[in-house]
Amino acid sequence: MTNKSLTRYVIKGKTKGSSTSEVSPVITASFEGSKDWCGIHDRIAFKYVTGPTTLMEEPHSHDFEEFLIFLGNKPGEPKVFNAEIEISLGEEGETHTINTASIVCIPPGLVHGPVKVKSVAQSILFAVIYLSPEYTKKPASIKSSSQSGQGKEKYSKYILREPKGEPRPLDTEEWGVGFSEKIIGSDMKFGCNFHFLSILGSHMLPDPPHNHECDEFLFLIPASYENWPELGGEMELALGDDWGKLTISTAAIICLPKHLKHCPAYMKSVDKPFYWGHLLPVPYYVSSEYSGEAL
């Protein structure tokens, strides 16, 4: 497989249309590439938030699972999160405050919204993962409104604050957040696992060459929008039966249809720390080389 044919699996950050204007507090990270994501049904989208704003206006629900991820723009320093977000969950309008790196888990049918960024002292990264090829919403109304604290409310279990997997034996990586059956425990059931890792220095990822019985996507996301779509480093990934090398130095989403061989992944250079991760639409991580609970 030639390098040119390998690029069909990559959705790259798009320069035009990715405004860095200081007028808007929300900067959408736009991408260009395969419109059908090589047949993969799951999706991920990113925004950089620099000031108070409303990320979701109206309460609504979906027929699919959705995850709202909030991260600071300092990979390797997951405790650094200088923002406050208010989110409403359920038809009761139960409100929750997010002021740490967090994942909000939205099962099918759960009413959510609005989502308001109340304050931002330092820009944050807002990612949305949804298990559907189309983002469709069902309008909903709030029957009542309840102001909530943290910890004992009906919907608090859906907010995972600083969830992480098990430590990896690398000082050039640091967890951002992670999601899997093992992390969430037995209280909830969701059909995917994913993680956001901070890449801090050059290294070969410990994952051996492998493939999956399901689709997967990988992503490389700059911590900052300032030089979008420059990643701040360079990654080399082996793909396909002949392990052709794919080199990426910009923001990217890599689509891996089931059975497509991939890895090793080599972080060749890291001028600025960035985020790296994956999603598989199964509750815990399994591959042709690994079977067990998620990392």
DSSP 192-257: -EEEEEEE-S-EE-SPPSB--SS-EEEEEEES-STTTTEEEEEEEEEETTTTEEEEEEE-EEEEE-
The values of phi and psi at residue 158, to 5°, are -80, -5
Higher-pLDDT residue of 147, 48: 48
In this prediction, residue 146 carries a pLDDT of: 62
Mean pLDDT for 34-45 is 95
pLDDT digits (tens, 9 = 90+) for 77-125: 988 999 999 999 999 999 999 999 999 999 999 999 999 999 999 999 9
C-beta atoms surrounding 194 within 10 Å: 25
In this prediction, residue 124 carries a pLDDT of: 96
Per the rule left: phi > 0, alpha: psi between -120 and 50, beta: everything else, 48 is beta
In this prediction, residue 186 carries a pLDDT of: 81
Q: Share the mean pLDDT of the chain.
A: 91
- 121 to 49, 91, 107, 161, 203: CA distances (angstroms): 10, 31, 31, 19, 32
In this prediction, residue 25 carries a pLDDT of: 95
Share of the chain above pLDDT 90, in %: 79
Mean pLDDT for 281-286 is 93
**Segment holding 48, helix H or strand E:** strand 43-49
Whether the pTM exceeds 0.85: the reply is yes
Burial class (CB in 10 A: 0-12, 13-18, 19+), 119: exposed
- Helix ranges, 106-146 (H): none
d(CA 67, CA 246): 29
d(CA 139, CA 61): 7
Domains assigned to the chain: 3-280 (2.60.120.10)
Dihedral sign computed on CA atoms, order 89, 94, 95, 98: negative
- The conformation of residue 284, written as its DSSP 8-state character, comes to S
> Of 14-18, 188-192, 240-244, 251-255, where does mean pLDDT reach its minimum?
14-18
Higher-pLDDT residue of 224, 290: 224
pLDDT digits (tens, 9 = 90+) for 117-162: 999 999 999 999 999 999 999 999 888 766 655 445 899 999 999 9
The values of phi and psi at residue 38, to 5°, are 55, 30
pLDDT at 2 over 60: no
Mean pLDDT for 204-225 is 95
pLDDT at 21 over 70: no
Q: How confident is the model at residue 4 (pLDDT cuts 50, 70, 90)?
A: low
Residue 24, C-beta contacts closer than 8 angstroms, at least 6 positions apart: none
